[in-house]
Each structure stands twice: as structure tokens, then as C-alpha cells.
Structure 1
Amino acid sequence: MSEIQVYPRVRALERGLELVSVLSEFGWATPKELAKKTGIHRTTIYRLLHTLEVNDYVHCRPGDGCYSLTRRFRLIADGIKDEDWVAQIVSFHLGNLLSQIQWPSDFVTFSSGRLIIRESTHRFSPMSVNRGMVGKSRPLLNSALGIVFLSAVSDESRERILTLAGLAGDESVKPENLENVMRRIQVARARGYAESSGETQHNISAIAVPICWRNRVLGAINIMFFRRALTPVKAAELYLDQLKRCAKGIEKELESLPLAEQTGWIRRRN
């Protein structure tokens, strides 16, 4: 990876964020109470509150001089999708995986009828010729990511996914492919992972495992490698345990996130 530039911390911003955090936790509060809870000098508290107020981030109640956050913070929070939180967690774990094996990995979710890459280590891997993978799509039925994703979802969800993918123009979703796909799904379920060889790119193979949260399937992660360097069987022999540990680490950390259990994610197979 390229060297990371270290910049000085902005103390005023840190204090402002600390103030916002306290207001979020305790609600209406006077500057005196905020100074006591944060340990920030009261003069600084007044400056911070004034800056936040003129920018419509806090509101001062005229009756008692107490401050509270405005709905502008709610709008900011609503702009953060579950996928953004998940991708942040996945990024850390994929980085650790890359440091162990050097081969690149992707994390995908199913959205708007397509399998979309949300995070990737291709840009950091010395073993990759690809860059800028985030935001690109992967064929649902011709990729290890797609097969293992379908292997983890419920039968009902799988039918809906295939319908949506077909409507979205995924060329891999064809009636003549479905019988073979079902066989691959059964194999993936038995093995605990899926594989592909030369299907998305003629010189690339991959193995993949699903990422789940409670009774939902969030997506899948893979390891990609050159066909001339490894077979999927050999890659699984060398790296599958590490890939599965990476997935378990992601799933364990996801438990702390307030994800939407009833909406937005696809039901997991029992």
C-alpha cells in the first residue's frame, strides 16, 4: 500500500464532535452542563454552540437557554446507508486478509437487480492488474460471488433475486443456465464456498463465501487469483480457512451495528 500522510489533529473539530456526542446522548442541556459533561472550558462551549447554531446544527430554547441538536443531524444520519456501515467494517477485515495472502478480494451486495462491488483490495494488491473495482457489477450466475450468495439465501428470495437480475439486464441470467446453477448452488452449500474459473475474466479464478447478519444475507467476499497460478481447488486448500475466518470476523463485528432487520437485506436460508 502507498504511504499514508499523517496530518495534525484539528483540536477544535474534536471538541465540536465531542459536544455533539454529548448533546446526542443527553438531549437538552445548558452551556454550564455541557462544560461539566465534556470537560471543555465554558468559553469554548459558547463559541462552539454559536458556530453550530448559526449553521443550523443546534437550537437554543429561549425559555431556559438549553441547547439541543436540530433535525439536520437526522438528515445526515439518514444519508448513511446500512451498506456504508457494512463496507467500512468489511474494508478493515479485507485489508487484514490481503496482508496475509497478497491476492485481492472484493465484497459485493445485491442492489437494484445487480451484484455490486462495495469494497475491494485490488488497488492495494501486488497480485492484481485491476484498479477502481468499487461500483462495478459482477454476473450473478457466472461468478463465485454470485453462486455463493445464491447458496446462502432462502429459496423464495433466490427466485425474486433471479427475476430482478433478469429485469436489470444481467446477461448471465438465462433459462438454459438455471439447471447448472442449481447444481453449483448445491455444491457450494455442501462445501461452504463457491468457485469460478475464467467466467468473469478468462485469466482469473476465484473462491467466495457469504456474509450474513442474523437471519439476513448481506453479500459475499472472495479471493481472486490468476488461473495459471492456482486452481480453485488449490486456492481453497491454501486460503479457504483464512477467507472463512475473515467472514466470521466481519459477521462478529456486524453484531454491534443497528442494521435494518426487516428491510433492505435478503432473508437467509434456514
Structure 2
Amino acid sequence: MSYAPVTALMRGLKVLEAVNRLGPARLTDIQAATGLPKASTLRVLDTLRHGGYVTVTPDSREYLVAARTLSLSNNYRADEALLAVAAPILQELREATGWPSDLAFYQAGKMVIADTNRRPGSFSVNRKVGTRVSVMLTAIGRVYLSFCSDAERADIIDTLVASDDRDEVGAADHKAVATMVEQIRTRGYAINERESVHTIRAVAVPVLHDGQVLCSFNVIGLAQAVPMADFEKTYIPMIQAARQRIEAALSSRSE
């Protein structure tokens, strides 16, 4: 079913996400992150300030999310059973590889980080629980898109195309998406070769249960530290083994 999204609302949410991800951040940083005109960005920020969702420091004019944003997540609950199983396994994976992992669910046009064992300051971009990241530009997004059902994939593609999000423009190229999905399903994992953040590379796998993809997780490393060929050769067997352990534990719980 096609629909026309409320453009002003989508812009407001995009700005709020940028402030949450970047803050404290100046107007120019938020504008660059959203791709919106400066006047539109400022108008949205003023509206969010008026609503109590954003605040600004009086001295440096940097924007931060305000306490009211906490109310937006009051009823959000990630799959606690899945996280209880996955978190210790991913921590062991980090200790074995030396590199961190993110676990993410798909939600409303983005992958949402539900668990991460990154350490603050270890990367140029430090994702936190709740961070929303691109489907098309990340390994965790690509592998989820590739292993979900055909019906869900079609719905996701429709959502991404309708969003007019510049990070998701690749979704409109249906032939390229089909080729990507086939390649990822064949090899069993997805790659991000410095496409979302130029300093990092990542590989990601899906977590399946009863034939359905529940989430995806990755291993992230500094591009300058490990060549991609070595990254795949060394870490793919380890990340696949972690996936198998998570899926086996979920199956045991459901028996």
C-alpha cells in the first residue's frame, strides 16, 4: 500500500536523530549530517527546542537532546531473550578477535543498535544502544535485507525509497539490490568496505530462528590495521561460529 509520508515530520525526526547521534553538535554539523537546507535545519531545531526534545548550550551554541526524548523509548523493548543469549557470546568474540561487535534489529527504515561492546573513543564513530544506522550502507543492514523473507524485503525497499533518505538511495536500484542479495546469500555474510565510515571495515551475519531472520551482528575493525582479505580470512569463521552458537542457544530455549 503506497502512502505519502509527512515531509515535515520526517525532517524533524531526521534532525532529532542527528542531534542524538552527534551531540553536542553545532548547526553546521547537523545540517551536513541531514542534508537539509540551513534554514530548514534551524527551523526544525527551534521547533524541537520548543517541544522540549532539544536544548542548546548558551555559550557554544551546540545542540543536545533534552530529557523529554527519554519518553520516546519508554515502551521499547528489544528481544531480551535474544540479547541475553547473544551478549556474552559477542563479548567472547570481541576478546577472540580484538575487535568490537554491534547487534542490530531492523525497525522502520533503519537498523537499530540493540547491543554493542564498542569502547568509547576506540573508533571515529562510537555507536551506542539505540543508534539508528543505514540499511544500504552498513554490513548489518545489507545482511538483514538479504536474509529476510521476500515479502519483508519488498516492504523494506518500499520504505527506504519513500523515505528519500540519501543514505538509502541505493534501494531504488532494484537490479543492483537483487544482485547484492544474491551475492550475500551465496557467501553467507555482508561486507562494508569503508563505505559508511572511511576508517573502518566490517563483516556481518544474520541470526536466524525457525527460518526467519531476527537480527544481524558484525565485527568492526580499523581499515588501516587489517587488509580486507585478511579480515575475511581470519574473522569470518569466528563470526560464523558465534552465529551458530547464538542460533543453537535460541533453539534450545524454544524446545
Q: TM-score range by the shorter chain?
A: 0.5 to 0.7
1 CA distance for matches of 2:137 and 2:174?
11
Q: 2:145 aligns with which of 143, 150, 169?
A: 150
Q: 1:211 aligns with which of 207, 213, 218?
A: 207
How big is each residue's C-alpha offset from its partner over 1:195-217, in whole Å with a ceiling of 9 and x where there is no partner?
A: 01112111111111101111211
Asked if 1:102 is matched to 2:98, the reply is yes
Which structure has the larger Rg? 1
Higher helix share: 2
Map 1:1-270; keep pairs closer than 5 Å: 81=77, 83-123=79-119, 128-167=123-162, 170-174=165-169, 176-257=172-253
User: Does the CA contact (< 8 Å) of 1:145 and 1:208 recur in 2?
Assistant: yes
Amino acid at match of 1:135: G
Distance change in 2, residues 1:176/1:132 (3 Å): closer
The SS at the match of 2:153 is: helix
Distance change in 2, residues 1:178/1:80 (3 Å): closer
2 CA distance for matches of 1:222 and 1:253?
18
2 CA distance for matches of 1:119 and 1:84?
11
Distance change in 2, residues 1:122/1:188 (3 Å): same
User: Does the CA contact (< 8 Å) of 1:193 and 1:208 recur in 2?
Assistant: yes
2 CA distance for matches of 1:176 and 1:115?
18
2 CA distance for matches of 1:257 and 1:162?
32
Residue 31 of structure 1: aligned partner: none
The SS at the match of 1:159 is: helix
User: Does the CA contact (< 8 Å) of 1:206 and 1:222 recur in 2?
Assistant: yes
Aligned-residue identity in percent = 24
For normalisation by structure 2, the TM-score amounts to 0.63
1 CA distance for matches of 2:78 and 2:248?
16
User: Does the CA contact (< 8 Å) of 1:107 and 1:219 recur in 2?
Assistant: yes
Deviation (angstroms), 1:103: 0.6
Residue 62 of structure 2: aligned partner: none
Distance change in 2, residues 1:137/1:223 (3 Å): same
2 CA distance for matches of 1:256 and 1:168?
39
2 CA distance for matches of 1:80 and 1:150?
22
User: Does the CA contact (< 8 Å) of 1:108 and 1:145 recur in 2?
Assistant: yes
Distance change in 2, residues 1:233/1:218 (3 Å): same
2 CA distance for matches of 1:161 and 1:80?
20
Gaps of 5+ in 2: 1-74
The SS at the match of 1:207 is: strand
The SS at the match of 1:255 is: helix
Amino acid at match of 1:212: L
